[in-house]
Amino acid sequence: MQPDIDIIDDSRGALQSIRKALIELYASVGADPASPQDTARRFGINRNLTWKLSRVMSSPDPFAALNFLPGQQGIDLVIRAFQRAGAPPDVLAALAEAMGRFNEVVTTHAGGRDQFELTLESTGVFERERSLESGRELAFRGNSMIWGVQIRTRLLCTFAGPSAGRCDAIDFVQVSGLFDFRRLRPQARWRLGRARVHDNTGESHPDIRPRPLAPDNGIPHAPFVIPEFCSNNMPAIEAVDGPDGTELVLPGGPVGNTAAFDCVLGMLVRGLPRFADEENPTHSGAAPINAPTERLLMDVILHRDLGDGPFTTNVYGFPHGGLDSPAAQNQQNLLPISAEVEELAGLPPTIATPMIPRYGQIAARVYEQMNWSPKDFRGWRMSMAYPPMSSVVVLSWRLPTAPK
């Protein structure tokens, strides 16, 4: 067996044994797992400890129970308290044996509880629920310190509606936003974004070029910027043309809260395929995470005639570089990070959120410019805390089949 399989299987078995032993222990003395306060009074145990035991027994799976499993000292207190209450020796021994097996698994595979939980979290089978900092949050803080920049909220909103005069094509509008972008070091120079269109294999479309949503923005070298939704204190953005598209670069400058700013970009692509084929069964929006980011928000706003999913979120990491290569999005780079996609209420969808200033006005601008009726659109949202740096988050949805 591979070690990563060993730790998952061994951990699941050990945790399940503890849950089974606790349930049998409670049953042996007529204690109610759903009444931690009553158990605390009856057996003279701290209420916080009995609450944790309750959660261990009632959690939906053994890995979720790990969030509440007390340490060895806590389990020893439980065994002594139930022993005084007359619990059968074999039932008490079963709990002690199960906890010993769990400690052995932790020592064998990780050496300690913190490293054990971190390893399971990395495999994707365990998610911390308690108030401790997660690995992704720690990575956000560490990368902020190392690279000298950070983003409070990263937005990618994709609108898709029918192309005028074409029944086989759709038009795409993507609004990309960096909100509360700040430097932590004055020398920090950072690329804010790049305009690029590609198919599912990563190949660029030679005949489809993204257009700026606000071409007359008064910034000739950065036409994708939408100034009316950017902060007044946004610094001058440099634009660099390259073979993979136009790069928008933030120069070095002031640091901290007083220099934090919002930057909103918009691009329009016309004539993308409306129906699925063998090579491109889906459309997607991709948000590169190339700076420390506290919150990612990805919305998809679809015309009602363009289907309703299903939607899939995948996070691809690039540990060896090549962040911008969609062709490198393969299963080997897929990170075990899950995120739910929820439908937004209303027609048009209610997208307002305190994380995005004037978000409703941004959507209204898109509807008006594209000559789309807002009530014809539905919306879906995916939100992710601390998306990992040097990754790309892809929110995709299946295209409908062409009518015969």
Closest to 182 in 3D by CA, of 288, 289, 291: 291
Strands 149-162 and 293-303: parallel
What are the pLDDT tens digits along the chain (404 aa)?
A: 344 447 889 999 999 999 999 999 999 999 999 999 999 999 999 999 999 999 999 998 899 999 999 999 999 999 999 999 999 999 999 999 999 999 999 998 888 888 888 788 777 788 776 544 578 888 998 898 888 889 999 999 999 998 887 878 889 899 999 999 988 887 777 877 665 555 545 555 555 678 888 778 777 667 788 999 999 988 887 777 766 666 778 887 887 777 889 999 999 988 888 877 777 777 888 999 989 999 999 999 999 888 777 899 999 998 766 555 555 556 778 888 888 899 999 889 999 999 999 999 999 999 999 999 999 999 999 999 999 998 999 998 888 777 77
Non-local CB neighbours of 240 within 8 Å, separated by 6+ positions: 246, 247, 249
Q: What is the distance between the alpha carbons of residues 65 and 49, in angstroms, rounded to a whole number? A: 14
- What is the predicted pLDDT for the residue at 378? 94
- What is the predicted pLDDT for the residue at 246? 64
- What is the predicted pLDDT for the residue at 3? 40
Residue at 227: amino acid letter: P
Query: What does each C-alpha distance from 258 to 124, 151, 183, 190, 194 come to in angstroms?
Result: 38, 14, 10, 18, 26
Non-local CB neighbours of 223 within 8 Å, separated by 6+ positions: 212, 214, 215, 217
What are all long-range contacts of 10-15, with beta carbons under 8 Å and residues at least 24 apart? 10/105, 10/108, 10/109, 11/62, 11/63, 11/66, 11/105, 11/109, 11/116, 11/120, 12/62, 12/63, 14/98, 14/101, 14/102, 14/104, 14/105, 15/62, 15/63, 15/65, 15/66, 15/69, 15/102
CATH assignment of 146-398, among 1.10.10, 2.60.40, 2.60.120, 3.30.70: 2.60.40
Closest to 261 in 3D by CA, of 158, 110, 122, 151: 151
Decide: 293 and 154 in contact? Cβ < 8 Å. yes
Q: Angle at CA 282, nearest 5°, toward 279 and 284? A: 125
Report phi then psi at 79, rounded to 5. -60, -45
Q: What is the pTM of this model?
A: 0.70
Q: In what order do the strands lie in the sheet with 238-242?
A: 190-194, 245-250, 238-242
Determine whether 2 is exposed, middle or buried from the number of CB atoms within 10 Å of its CB (0-12, 13-18, 19+): exposed
Q: Angle at CA 362, nearest 5°, toward 358 and 364? A: 115
Q: SS3 breakdown of the chain: % helix, strand, coil, rounded to 5?
A: 35, 30, 35
Instruction: Map 235-289 to HEC letters.
Output: CCCEEEEECCEEEEEECCCCCCHHHCEEEEEEEEEEEEECCCCCCCCEEEEEEEE
Strands 245-250 and 238-242: antiparallel
Output the six-digit token pair for 275.
């129906």
Extents of the domains making up the chain? 3-123, 146-398
- What is the predicted pLDDT for the residue at 132? 45
- What is the predicted pLDDT for the residue at 13? 94
Q: What is the distance between the alpha carbons of residues 295 and 136, in angstroms, rounded to a whole number? A: 11
Per-residue buried b or exposed e for 133-160, using 16+ beta carbons within 10 Å of the residue's own CB: ebebeebbeebbeebbbbbebbbbbbbb
- What is the predicted pLDDT for the residue at 5? 47
